């Protein structure tokens, strides 16, 4: 019995020692750091903002008892006790309440396995873009470079020009589009574009090139003082007047009037060149040619341009009278002096402009205006008569037929106005002309 007891005790002792030794071998080493993705609740009693933790995508060390918002990625280094936190990466698996043990030999830094995001919107210079695209066999050009290329292609193409050649048409169309831009047009004239492209076009034997050359010049000079000056210096005004006077192709004359208009508007020096080269006489000759649809359109353009030139003089006087700033008043005075030296109104009267305008109204009263073109002619001619003021009133005071035409047109536009308010300005214009040129009021 005693022997049996000793045997059982011995076996139990061995079993205990074996078990203890076996599980001690399985004890995990103490982790150096722990990463926790959990929802921490902030300390509710903390009302200060100086201790507030602002999470970012980068690891930040947490202070002792520093409250943090919920839903952060938190790391605890079990060796040093340092706690860090950052926002959870959206690309990581969303495993909340997860405890992971990380073996790390670094106590001060956390290795980031992800590369920092690339800023896709980082600005690159034009030259840098060209270098990058060159590697892809892609070409990038500025408007200036495109214009230079077109100019070079034009000069080469002119040497082998044929009437059926479509390459020149494409080049000139693209150039005309670019020259609407002020900066591009200025570079164009600086590179002798007027002398090397526009003038050769206008002087060519091709109707198309004449049309396109004048169109290019008008587009470039429109509201662009530098181009206006360059055009005057290149002596384009007499050239344009030549083809308005000699050519009877509508598109050539139309584009030449457009170019001339762009050059001389609000530019007294250019207007002086225009007058010296018999520009008024050339314009008035258009009204003496046989009436046709195309001729009526040219008359309208001439009437509108001459009306604008006369109104410019009145605007210059008004600006001078109302400008009280000493420096600006001096500029306004100089500008007014330049306009006065032109004697434009006197030259128009001497060349029969008042009688031409009167004849326009008589013709319009015989065949009442019914379309946009004839309505525009009434407006342009009427405003010109009013702008010429006492100059034309003296010339036309005995023209009873003219006064009768005013009465006819006034009645016509009164009826149109009663049907459509769109005609009110024209009705008011004719009414004003009637009161101005009424011979009874002389």
Look at residue 4 in the predicted model and tell me its pLDDT: 59
Cβ atoms of residues 413 and 430 within 8 Å: yes
Instruction: Express each pLDDT in 174-198 by its tens digit.
Output: 999 999 999 999 999 999 999 999 9
- Is the pLDDT at 112 greater than 50? The verdict is no
How far apart, in whole angstroms, are the C-alpha atoms of residue 157 and residue 195? 16
- Is the pLDDT at 234 greater than 90? The verdict is yes
Helix (H) / strand (E) element for 405: namely helix 400-419
- Residue 26: phi and psi, rounded to 5, are -95, 0
End-to-end CA, the chain: 161
pLDDT band, residue 390 (cuts 50/70/90) = confident
How far apart, in whole angstroms, are the C-alpha atoms of residue 270 and residue 214? 17
- Is the pLDDT at 394 greater than 70? The verdict is yes
- Is the pLDDT at 20 greater than 80? The verdict is no
Q: Which tokens belong to 223?
A: 């509201």
Look at residue 165 in the predicted model and tell me its pLDDT: 60
Question: Around 283, how many Cα atoms within 13 Å sit in the side-chain half-sphere?
Answer: 26
- Ramachandran region, residue 352 (left: φ > 0; alpha: ψ -120 to 50; beta: rest): left
pLDDT band, residue 362 (cuts 50/70/90) = very high
Question: Around 231, how many Cα atoms within 13 Å sit in the side-chain half-sphere?
Answer: 37
Domain 136-277 has CATH 3.30.70.100: no
Give which of 77, 142, 75, 63 is closest to 106, Cα–Cα: 77
SS3 content of the chain, % helix, strand, coil (to 5): 65, 5, 30
How far apart, in whole angstroms, are the C-alpha atoms of residue 30 and residue 78? 8
pLDDT band, residue 26 (cuts 50/70/90) = very low
What b/e string do you get for 188-197 counting C-beta neighbours within 10 Å, with b at 16 or more?
bbeeebbeeb
Q: Please provide the average confidence, as pLDDT, over all residues in the chain.
A: 79
Per-position DSSP letters for 93-126, written without gaps between them:
---TTEEEEE--S-SS-----SPPPP-TT----H
Q: How many CB atoms sit inside 10 A of residue 3's CB?
A: 7
- Answering whether pTM is above 0.85, one says no
Look at residue 121 in the predicted model and tell me its pLDDT: 45
Q: How many CB atoms sit inside 10 A of residue 421's CB?
A: 10
Instruction: Express each pLDDT in 120-141 by its tens digit.
Output: 444 555 565 556 555 554 455 6
Give which of 310, 284, 283, 279 is closest to 391, Cα–Cα: 310
- Is the pLDDT at 431 greater than 90? The verdict is yes
Instruction: Express each pLDDT in 258-304 by its tens digit.
Output: 999 999 999 999 999 999 999 999 999 999 998 888 999 999 999 99
Which residues have CB under 8 Å from 354's CB, separation 6+?
Answer: 348, 385, 388, 391, 392, 395, 396
Look at residue 276 in the predicted model and tell me its pLDDT: 97
Count helices and strands in the chain by DSSP H and E runs: 21, 5
Look at residue 10 in the predicted model and tell me its pLDDT: 57
Cβ atoms of residues 283 and 241 within 8 Å: no
Question: What is the location of CATH 1.25.10.10 in the chain?
Answer: 136-277
How far apart, in whole angstroms, are the C-alpha atoms of residue 438 and residue 100? 104
Q: Say which residue, 109 or 393, is predicted with more confidence.
A: 393
For residues 323-348, give the mean pLDDT: 90
């Amino acid at each position: 019995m005693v022997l049996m007891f000793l045997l059982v005790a011995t076996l139990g002792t061995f079993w205990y020692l074996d078990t203890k030794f076996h599980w001690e071998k399985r004890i995990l080493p103490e982790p150096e750091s722990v990463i926790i993705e959990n929802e921490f609740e902030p300390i509710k009693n903390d009302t200060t903002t100086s201790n507030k933790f602002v999470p970012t995508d980068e690891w930040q060390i947490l202070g002792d008892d520093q409250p943090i918002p919920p839903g952060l990625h938190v790391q605890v280094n079990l060796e040093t006790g340092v706690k860090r936190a950052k926002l959870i990466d959206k690309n990581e698996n969303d495993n909340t309440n997860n405890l992971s043990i990380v073996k790390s030999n670094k106590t001060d830094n956390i290795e980031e396995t992800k590369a920092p995001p690339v800023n896709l919107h980082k600005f690159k210079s034009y030259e840098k873009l060209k270098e990058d695209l060159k590697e892809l066999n892609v070409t990038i050009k500025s408007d200036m470079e495109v214009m230079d290329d077109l100019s070079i292609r034009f000069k080469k193409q002119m040497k082998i020009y044929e009437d059926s050649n479509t390459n020149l048409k494409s080049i000139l169309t693209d150039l005309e589009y670019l020259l609407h831009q002020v900066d591009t047009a200025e570079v164009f004239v600086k590179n002798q574009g007027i002398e090397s492209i526009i003038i050769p076009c206008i002087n060519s034997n091709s109707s198309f090139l004449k049309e396109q050359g004048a169109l290019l010049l008008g587009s470039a000079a429109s509201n662009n003082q530098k181009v206006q000056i360059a055009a005057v210096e290149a002596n384009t005004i007499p050239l344009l007047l030549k083809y308005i006077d000699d050519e009877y192709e509508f598109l050539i004359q139309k584009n030449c009037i457009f170019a001339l208009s762009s050059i001389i508007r609000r530019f007294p020096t250019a207007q002086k060149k225009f007058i010296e080269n018999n520009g008024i006489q050339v314009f008035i000759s258009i009204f003496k040619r046989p009436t046709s649809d195309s001729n009526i359109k040219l008359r309208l353009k001439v009437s509108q341009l001459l009306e604008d030139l006369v109104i410019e003089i009145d605007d210059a006087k008004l600006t001078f009278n109302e400008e009280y700033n000493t420096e600006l008043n001096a500029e306004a005075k100089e500008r007014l002096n330049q306009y006065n030296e032109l004697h434009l109104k006197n030259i128009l009267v001497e060349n029969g402009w008042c009688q031409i305008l009167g004849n326009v109204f008589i013709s319009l009263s015989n065949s009442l205006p019914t379309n946009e073109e004839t309505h525009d002619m009434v407006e342009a001619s009427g405003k010109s008569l009013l702008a010429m003021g006492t100059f034309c009133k003296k010339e036309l005071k005995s023209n009873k037929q003219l006064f009768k035409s005013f009465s006819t047109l006034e009645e016509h536009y009164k009826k149109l106005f009663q049907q459509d308010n769109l005609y009110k300005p024209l009705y008011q214009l004719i009414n004003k002309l009637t009161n101005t040129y009424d011979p009874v009021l002389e």
